[in-house]
Structures are given as C-alpha cells and as structure tokens.
Amino acid sequence: MSNRYGEITSAGGRIVVITVDSPPQNAAIIEKLHLPFPILSDPDRSLAIEPYGVADPKDPRNLARPSIFIVAPNHELVFGEVSDDFADRAAEEGVVATLQDLELPPTTPEIIQPGPAEPGPRAMPLHAMEPYFRGAKFAVTAMKLRHPEVEEDAAIYIAQMDRYIELVKELRGKA
C-alpha cells in the first residue's frame, strides 16, 4: 500500500494498519519499510481483529489475516477483502479504483510519530527480504510442478512474490 499511498490519499483515502505486534515493533516496521501511515496495536485481538472477523483461527501465532476495508463517509462498507492466510495480500488496484469511484476530496497525509522502535525477535532485516521472497517463489514454483491442481493459486502467489521483490529493491534504494 505504501507504493500507492499518494494515489490513495489523492482519492480521499486513509490507511490505518492494525496488527498483533507491540507499538515498538510497529514503530520498527514503519522505520524499516518507510511507511507513511500508522500501524496500531491489538495484541490480544479484542479491539479490532476479532470484532472485524479477520482473526486467523488456523494460525497458531494468533495473527490476523491481511484485510482491507474501505468505509465511505456515510459509514457504508464499499470494499472489503480478507485474505486466506498471512502470506496473501490484496492488490492495490481494487482499492485505488474503489476510492476513485467515490469521488472524495483528497485527504491530508498523516504525520507519523511512532515511538521508540524495537524490532521483534523474528523481524527480518531488509537485506534478507529479497532472498526470502525469491526462495518463496522458487518453492511455490516447485510445488506447482508437483501439484498441477494448485497452478492458479500458485501463479497468484508467484506474481505477489515478484511484486514484493520489486518493492524491496525500491526500499533498498531509499535506505
């Protein structure tokens, strides 16, 4: 979402992320990925994650499934997408198009002032992300060859890994 942030705010949108991570961990991810939007913390999943129905009951780490909701000024839900699991992410195109269709005035980008950053114990450093995504892409390519019935899902995942690899390259250029 950060690479489309300007389009989203120009179309009247705001981005707020909610995770189970602590505020210092969220501050670390904002810093590492140069995110222009806030990340809020819901560590026990009771404030937003469970009430919005995005908790992942299959994931033993108590994570939320990546989700995107667009709520219009009249409080109507006009876009909603909940991913199947932690590895899946919604594409930004639908978000931008839905916001543009609402014809809202532009929003002013938030001023982010996260507290002290403290990466979590398993936080991946930026330099490790590209090889990680390449490995994930390679593994899914192998699984697709072994299990042709997952070819469509694998193609979506591989395209997502390609997108992540390009975004990491952009981030490394900013660092």
pLDDT in tens, 8-62: 999 998 888 889 999 999 999 999 998 888 889 999 999 999 998 898 888 888 7
Looking at 102, 136, 159, the residue that finishes a domain is 102
Q: What is the pLDDT of residues 97-110, one digit of tens each?
A: 988 998 989 988 77
Strand (E) or helix (H) holding 6: helix 5-10
Cβ neighbour number for residue 23 with a 10 Å cutoff: 17
Dihedral of alpha carbons 88, 93, 94, 99, sign: positive
Contact 156, 66 (CB under 8 A): no
**Domain check: are 59 and 130 in the same one?**
no
**Domain check: are 98 and 132 in the same one?**
no
d(CA 38, CA 30): 8
Domains contained in the chain, number: 2
Looking at 45, 70, 102, the residue that finishes a domain is 102
Give the domain CATH number at 32: 3.40.30.10
Is 161 inside any structural domain? Answer: yes
Supply the range of the domain harboring residue 94. Answer: 2-102
Task: Check residue 23 and give its pLDDT.
Answer: 93
3-class DSSP state of 151:
helix
